[in-house]
């Protein structure tokens, strides 16, 4: 097991990364997609974006439509930054399983976790939350004794 580094979110790709940005990690999409507030927001956003565009013969309505779309995209970023901030706060109490993006040798294996705002790598995949916390506490305890 090892500590990889402090976590930060890349909102454009919705991926976790370390401060130096060497690797990117994905959390389970269900943590985000199954939330009722996210479902409601995404539905409203898609209805607006995929709605009927006014024709070019109606420049005022067309301009208003594109302004509304730009505002919706801005709100999208604000909304999802709040959601991922909540996930980061949730990591203070329990580990959030992660897997490395584009790691095709270990697809479907949750070898990493987000805990207390840090990303940790484990030797074995798909560990339970309790096991992850025990290993992290043992690892952090060993690091403090060495100092």
pLDDT tens-digit readout, 72-88:
999 999 999 999 999 99
Per-residue confidence band for 16, with pLDDT thresholds at 50, 70 and 90: very high
Rounded to the nearest integer, the mean pLDDT of the chain is 90
pLDDT tens-digit readout, 65-122:
999 999 999 999 999 999 999 999 999 999 999 998 888 887 778 999 999 999 999 9
Q: 7: which DSSP letter? A: E
Does the pTM surpass 0.75? The reply is yes
Alpha carbons within 13 angstroms on the beta-carbon side of residue 12 total 0
CA-nearest of 92, 93, 95 to 131 is: 95
User: Average of pLDDT values for 26-46?
Assistant: 93
117/5 Cα distance (integer angstroms):
9
**How much of the chain, in percent, has pLDDT values that exceed 70?**
97
CA angle centred on 71, ends 66 and 74, rounded to 5°: 130
Hey, where are the domains in the chain? 2-41+86-146
Per-residue confidence band for 145, with pLDDT thresholds at 50, 70 and 90: low
């Amino acid at each position: 097991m090892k500590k990889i580094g402090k976590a930060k979110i890349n909102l454009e790709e919705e991926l976790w990364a370390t401060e130096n940005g060497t690797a990117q990690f994905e959390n389970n999409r269900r943590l985000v997609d199954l939330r009722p507030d996210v479902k409601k927001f995404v539905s409203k956003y898609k209805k607006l974006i995929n709605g009927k565009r006014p024709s070019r013969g109606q420049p005022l309505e067309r301009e208003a439509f594109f302004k509304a779309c730009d505002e919706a995209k801005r709100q999208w970023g604000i909304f999802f930054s709040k959601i991922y901030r909540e996930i980061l706060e949730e990591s203070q109490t329990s580990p959030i399983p992660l897997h490395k993006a584009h790691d095709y040798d270990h697809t479907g294996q949750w070898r990493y976790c987000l805990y207390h705002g840090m990303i940790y790598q484990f030797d074995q995949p798909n560990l339970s939350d309790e096991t992850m916390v025990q290993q992290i506490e043992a690892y952090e305890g060993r690091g403090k004794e060495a100092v």
